[in-house]
């Protein structure tokens, strides 16, 4: 008897083969810009076909731009796209929309908020950023000072955010703001959504060593947003953002670099190319062979743990510490991959420019540098360990309470 998922896989394989523009195979998903008008047109055509299919955010309800598919079906779509050199650009085009803002709006938003915001995210037409960290409120996010003051039908927002990914190219921002300074620092915080295209909002990109600059400083100077853009109850934004950050950490469990391509050679293929094999066809370096095998086992273990925890969390809104485990596990896997790739390529893996290096070799060192940020963004490695020790292992609280 044929499994329904097997039938679905066949349907996806056929649809991708027929609909994905072959000119986009090997593309960087539009992140570095396409030079030809033909490529731009094909990229937009592919985005629209995915949006019409509801596959930009396939597990979301159909009325909000999704396809109401299961997690298993969504995984099949991703797998079949990868086999054909295809990709889903919509989560990247939506910024923080598909992975973080959208799931949180689905859980905390009003019907009006869902109807107004989710379809634009699911189609990749509207990009979102998040105003969370501040110069004096990084790991201790509850110390934020950006404030929103009641002004009738609107909130007036003043303050500064930092590390706001994609703020300079986003149309909307989800921001954590202080709405009551007379109570405990976690009790007087709210989560508001505001349009970026207004006089009171300005951004300044932050240059990174890898050459890729997704981060910005964001300044709010009498910025405004309608009160209907308050997500969740007033002064209960801490609960909202904890759930949002859980979605972030879950999305980061498949951590990859911005320039990563689905059709790049595997570590095994790289090893054979750069290190060589012995007479038995094995990697010609026993120690490296063992470390490569151990890394691949870590990758598989991480993947299986992601699936198990995702299944256990199905339908639950409660914030758990499991995402912290996955965040740190994903960090080790992603950084381990980059380190091994660098070692396998040898001198060819550390080139910055020049015709003596291939495109993959030049991108590798940038991927390696970019990957160092994985252990910092979305909650640092050490902060996740604190969460794990307290909430899972039951060890005593050692961090500052607020």
The tokens for 73 are 């079906």
The Cβ of residue 45 has, within 10 Å, a number of other Cβ atoms equal to 14
What's the DSSP call for residue 168?
A: G
Return the SS3 of 225.
strand
Please identify which of the residues 44, 248, 294, 353 carries the catalytic annotation.
Answer: 248
**From CA 194, how far away is CA 179, in angstroms rounded?**
15
Phi, psi of 157 (to 5 degrees): -115, 130
DSSP strand pairing (216-226 vs 201-205): antiparallel
Q: How remote is the C-alpha of 360 from its chain's centroid? A: 22
Q: Is 269 a catalytic residue?
A: no
Pick the closest to residue 103 from 290, 306, 316 (CA basis): 316
Place of tokens 């994905």: 20
**From CA 400, how far away is CA 402, in angstroms rounded?**
7
Alpha helices per DSSP H over 173-236: none
Looking at the DSSP assignment, which residues form a beta bridge with residue 263?
Answer: none
**From CA 59, how far away is CA 74, in angstroms rounded?**
7
**From CA 250, how far away is CA 352, in angstroms rounded?**
32
Residue 256: which residues within 8 A CB-CB, separation 6 or more?
334
Phi, psi of 212 (to 5 degrees): -100, 130
368 touches 336 (CB < 8 A): no
191 touches 230 (CB < 8 A): yes
3-class SS string, 99-147 = HHHHHHHHHHCCHHHHHHHHHHHHCCCCCEEEECCECCECCCHHHCCCE
**From CA 257, how far away is CA 371, in angstroms rounded?**
7
Catalytic residues: 248
């Amino acid at each position: 008897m044929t499994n329904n998922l097997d039938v679905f896989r066949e349907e996806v394989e056929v649809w991708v083969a027929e609909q994905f523009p072959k000119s986009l195979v090997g593309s960087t998903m539009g992140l570095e810009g396409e030079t030809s008008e033909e490529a731009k047109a094909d990229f937009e055509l592919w985005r629209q076909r995915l949006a019409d299919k509801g596959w930009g955010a396939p597990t979301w309800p159909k009325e909000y731009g999704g396809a109401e598919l299961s997690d298993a079906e969504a995984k099949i779509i991703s797998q079949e796209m990868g086999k054909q050199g295809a990709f889903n650009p919509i989560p990247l085009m939506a910024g923080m929309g598909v992975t973080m803002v959208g799931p949180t709006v689905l859980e905390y938003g009003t019907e009006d908020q869902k109807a107004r915001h989710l379809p634009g995210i699911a189609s990749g037409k509207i990009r979102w950023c998040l105003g969370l960290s501040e110069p004096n409120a990084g790991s201790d996010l509850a110390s934020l000072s950006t404030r929103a003051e009641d002004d009738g039908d609107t909130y007036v927002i003043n303050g500064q955010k930092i590390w706001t990914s994609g703020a300079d190219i986003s149309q909307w921002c989800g921001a954590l703001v202080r709405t009551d300074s007379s109570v405990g620092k976690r009790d007087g915080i709210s989560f508001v959504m505001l349009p970026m295209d207004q006089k009171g909002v300005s951004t300044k990109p932050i240059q990174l060593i890898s050459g890729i600059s997704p981060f910005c400083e964001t300044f709010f100077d009498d910025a405004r947003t309608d009160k209907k853009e308050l997500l969740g109850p007033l002064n209960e934004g801490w609960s909202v953002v904890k759930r949002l950050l859980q979605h972030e950490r879950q999305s980061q469990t498949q951590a990859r670099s911005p320039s990563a391509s689905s059709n790049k050679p595997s570590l095994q293929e790289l090893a054979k190319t750069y290190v060589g094999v012995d007479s038995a066809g094995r990697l010609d370096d026993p120690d490296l062979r063992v470390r490569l095998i151990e890394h691949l086992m870590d990758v598989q273990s991480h993947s299986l743990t992601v699936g198990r925890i995702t299944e256990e969390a199905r339908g639950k809104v409660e914030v758990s510490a499991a995402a912290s485990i996955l965040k740190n596990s994903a960090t080790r896997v992603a950084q381990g991959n980059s380190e091994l790739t660098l070692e396998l390529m040898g001198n060819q893996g550390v080139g910055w420019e020049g015709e003596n290096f291939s495109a993959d070799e030049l991108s590798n060192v940038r991927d390696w540098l970019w990957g160092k940020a994985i252990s910092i963004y979305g909650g640092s490695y050490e902060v996740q360990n604190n969460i794990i020790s307290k909430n899972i292992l039951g060890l005593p609280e050692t961090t500052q309470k607020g």
